[in-house]
A and B are shown apart, each in its own frame.
Chain A
Amino acid sequence: MRAAILLALAGSALVIAAAVLLASSRPLDLSARARAIESTLRCPTCQATSVADSPAQAARQIRQVVEQQVRDGRTDEQIRGFFADRYGTWILLDPPTTGPDIVVWILPAVVVVGGVIVLVRHARHARQANHDSGTADLATRQGGPRLAESAVFGAMVLALLAPIPAALGLRPAGAPASGGAPSTTPTIAQLEAWVAADPSDARILTQLGDALLGAGDLPEAASRYRAALTVDPAADAPKLGLAAILIESGRPDVAVTLLDGILGTNGASADALFMRMVANQQLFGRADARVRADAARFLEVAAGDDVRRTTVESLLAASDANQSSAASASPGSPAP
């Protein structure tokens, strides 16, 4: 009797364990499926980042829809098709192998095959030249350069091929979005985590804004810069970020107002001078006195190895050339 009770209890325990395992494995499977689908969708407001990897709000909202559709029992292809119907096939990180998108898959193979054909033809021509000349010496002088030229061509073809997947935002399944090499620059996800741990750190908020700006997510970047300014209203860095966004968004006039504020307290800010120069150039053209004044001041205060110096020097030179040609074309004022 006692054995029967124990056996019954053991049976119940097994049933309960099985039920618990089933219950816990189902959401995990669904979550893994959703994550797999999200990793094949491009974040619509970022550059070459998957929905799975992006912290952008748009990506978060897409993840919610994917998870809901997975729970609703839709297939992977139905879910991917749902987004392709709305955004177009560019939303898919691995475009379909039919229709116009097939060029993405065929182009690399075509270029490789073309490169090999050209390589072989060059080699044949080289051999023919050797044969016609009848001397090994001539073969070295004619065939050698031709073969070298072919090898260089082949290398160029391969070098050109390498960036194609990255340029199209493609990556092999399972590869990290940011590439294999470790980076010392914190990722957006890391910065998000640090901000979550300490939302009052204006420096990290600004750094996150910079990273989002670099990823092309202007709304999210602006949101982080504003948060940084809420914490530290006197900080210049988030204002510079907002100014960059305003210029990028076609509001250089508002950017100039913001930059005037920075330069009012720190007239030697090379970043603010450079940005105000760009904004005023958009508004008034490169020959404008305000643009030239900021350019000249920038060259005074910027570090000697600042890469922007060349741009500014070119702008001033072009502006000088414009003024000279305008002066020579002008009939001039009549003498008093």
Chain B
Amino acid sequence: MLVQLARRAPQGLAVVGILYQDTAENAQRFVDEFGVPYATLLDPQGTAAIDYGLTGIPETFFIDRTGMIRAHQVGVLSQADIDAKLRTIAGP
């Protein structure tokens, strides 16, 4: 779903993945296999996870253009979740 979103991302929207509790090799295989089009960052020390207050996997944060987290979703995303939460970060 995030792959589709990234491929059809409206102007100004960026999708970024952060790898948590896994190896770069596994991530590369996943990216290659599924053709993940968005940037995937590594977090080997888990500091990004702590900074975002991560409680589980997957967890998705919706960040507006000022850098504020406006919504987040713990667990699997549905299209309805994405639509509703994208509205919280949509510009004027």
Contacts and interface: CB of A to CB of B under 8 A. Distances in A.
Contacts of A45: 55-56
Interface in A220-252: 223, 249-250
A218 B21 CA distance: 12
B19 interface: no
A88 B72 CA distance: 14
Nearest to A65: B50
B4 interface: no
Main secondary structure of the interface of A (DSSP, over half): helix
Contact of A57 (B21, B56, B76): B21
Interface string B29-66: 00000000000000001110111111111000000000
Given A219-B21, A249-B76, A250-B76, A88 B49 contact: no
A87 B46 contact: no
A86 B21 CA distance: 19
Nearest to A88: B53
Interface in B47-92: 47, 49-57, 75-76
B46 A58 contact: yes
Contacts of B57: 218-219
A64 interface: yes
Contact of B45 (A61, A91, A249, A250): A61
Nearest to B75: A250
B41 to A, nearest CB: 16
Given A219-B21, A250-B76, A86 B50 contact: yes
B76 A58 contact: no
Contact of A86 (B45, B46, B52, B76): B52
A80 to B, nearest CB: 13
A61 B47 CA distance: 8
Contacts of B47: 61, 65
A58 B45 contact: no
Contacts of A86: 50-53
A218 B50 CA distance: 18
A61 B46 CA distance: 6
B54 A58 contact: yes
B53 A44 contact: yes
Contacts of B75: 250
Interface in A249-283: 249-250
A116 interface: no
A57 B52 CA distance: 16
A69 to B, nearest CB: 11
A129 to B, nearest CB: 55
A219 B55 CA distance: 11
Contacts of B56: 45, 218
Nearest to A91: B53
Contacts of B54: 44, 58
Interface string A34-72: 000000000011000000000001100110110000000
The residue in A45, A58, A250 that gathers the most chain B C-beta atoms within 10 A of its C-beta is A58
10 contacts: A44-B53, A44-B54, A45-B55, A45-B56, A61-B46, A61-B47, A61-B50, A62-B50, A86-B50, A86-B53
Given A57-B21, A87-B53, 14 more contacts: A45-B56, A57-B46, A58-B21, A61-B46, A61-B50, A62-B50, A64-B45, A65-B47, A86-B50, A86-B53, A87-B55, A218-B56, A219-B21, A250-B76
